[in-house]
Chains A and B, each alone.
Chain A
Amino acid sequence: MKESLLEILCCPLDKHDLELEDAEYDGDEVISGTLVCSECGERYAIEDGIPNLLPPDMREETPA
């Protein structure tokens, strides 16, 4: 993802802004890092350039 995507992305739970932490870049692309909700503090990982905005109850470790 590009960092500019942060302007539109929000927390899927409460729709508040996300902040980018521990970003690693490849050119202008953010390859890995964490998106943190400025309101509820929920953390969303960026995996191989794709942000994972699945709510916590839908992530791999949780049964669907």
Chain B
Amino acid sequence: MKGQEWYQADDVAEEYDDKRFSQGGQLIDRREKEAVLEAISPLSDRNVLEIACGTGRFTVMLAERGADVVGLDISAAMLQRGRKKAKRAGVSDHLEFIRGDAGRLPFPDDHFDTVVAMRFFHLADDPAAFLSEMRRVSREQIVFDTFNRFSARSIYNWALPMGSRLYSKSEVAVLLAKNDLTLVDVEDDFLVPYGLYRSIPNALASPIRSLDRAVGELPVTDHLASVSYWNTRVR
């Protein structure tokens, strides 16, 4: 897995939320949460597993809305932050954190209603194997995002600490078909890549985001979007 050591360092975990999801990053955070909620509502009593849950950005939100959530990550430092966040939010009784390998999940077949993996597949060296393992433990739904090939993402990719795997739509379609997954919905967004949003203050990020949205609504720009949110159903 790319950037494995960087990601697990204590100081990276400590600054992770501040660095990535403040300033213009808030817009990304909000958009991603919207995509996840839209895909998996209603959440009440739903059994959800999140792969690569990091500091619990999504797990805490899902638990607050009534889901029974398990968050899995490779980094002990990130998970401890998630655990504290869950305690503060008062959701510890239906949110558990587990350290583990996404390729060899410590759960029985068909256990979860939904498996979510946000910001995961761009780091996956063997996406087919990971998706198949997620499919094994899900009985109903898998939700994930990908960074797209042929987008603005390609341009600044080299500058990232972890590098990034980019996907074309047809690659994802093949992955879904191979794993007996049916596409329910795919949403494309962010003509302007995430990195730019993170590097600029909110005052600037909002107007750029409005422009991004307006241009993004034109049908012709669909395949230029840098991110896709996939909602799929187990066949």
| A contact residues vs B (CB 8 Å cutoff) | 1-2, 5, 8-13, 15, 29, 47-55, 58, 64
Contact status A15-B97, CB under 8 Å: no
Instruction: Map CB proximity to A onto B77-100 as digits: 1 under 8 Å, 0 otherwise.
Output: 001100100000000110011111
Contact status B76-A50, CB under 8 Å: yes
Nearest-CB distance from A32 to chain B (Å)? 13
Interface check B160, CB cutoff 8 A? no
| B interface secondary structure, majority | mixed
Q: In the complex, which of the residues B70, B92, B104, B108 contacts A13, with contact meaning CB atoms closer than 8 Å?
A: B104
Contact status A12-B100, CB under 8 Å: yes
- Which residues of B from 125 to 172 have beta carbons under 8 Å from A? none
Contact status A52-B99, CB under 8 Å: yes
What A residues does B1 contact at CB under 8 A?
Answer: 64
Contact A1 B96, CB 8 Å, known A13-B104, A58-B101 = yes
Q: In the complex, which of the residues B4, B80, B97, B107 contacts A10, with contact meaning CB atoms closer than 8 Å?
A: B107
What B residues does A48 contact at CB under 8 A?
Answer: 80, 83
Contact status B99-A53, CB under 8 Å: yes
Contact status B108-A10, CB under 8 Å: yes
CB-CB nearest 4 A-B residue pairs: A53-B100, A53-B106, A12-B104, A12-B106
Interface check B33, CB cutoff 8 A? no
CA distance A47 to B97 in the complex (A): 11
What B residues does A1 contact at CB under 8 A?
Answer: 96-98
Residue of chain A at shortest CB distance from B82: A50
Nearest-CB distance from A10 to chain B (Å)? 6
CA distance A54 to B76 in the complex (A): 11
Interface check B37, CB cutoff 8 A? no
Contact status A12-B105, CB under 8 Å: yes
Contact A50 B83, CB 8 Å, known A1-B96, A12-B101 = yes
Contact A54 B99, CB 8 Å, known A48-B80, A64-B5 = yes
Interface check B27, CB cutoff 8 A? no
Q: In the complex, which of the residues A8, A29, A49, A51 contacts B108, with contact meaning CB atoms closer than 8 Å?
A: A8
